């Protein structure tokens, strides 16, 4: 039995590229935009809760 050059045990094998650089950059950019929008939503929620709790009944 002949083993291929790409096969190896553990971390010895070199990783093969599974996606293009443009796809990886697009995924990273969409994750960054999602995190930023989540932070803005949480900030606005905290500000509105503090504003409502500061109002007298």
Report CA-CA distances (Å) from 26 to 16, 22, 29, 38, 42: 20, 6, 5, 18, 24
Determine the pLDDT at residue 47: 94
Higher per-residue confidence, 13 vs 47: 47
Whole-prediction pTM: 0.60
């Amino acid at each position: 039995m002949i083993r291929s050059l790409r096969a190896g045990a553990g971390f010895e094998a070199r990783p093969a590229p599974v996606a293009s650089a443009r796809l990886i950059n697009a995924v990273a950019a969409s994750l960054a935009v999602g995190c930023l929008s989540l932070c803005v939503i949480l900030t606005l929620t905290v500000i509105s809760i503090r504003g409502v709790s500061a109002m007298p009944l």
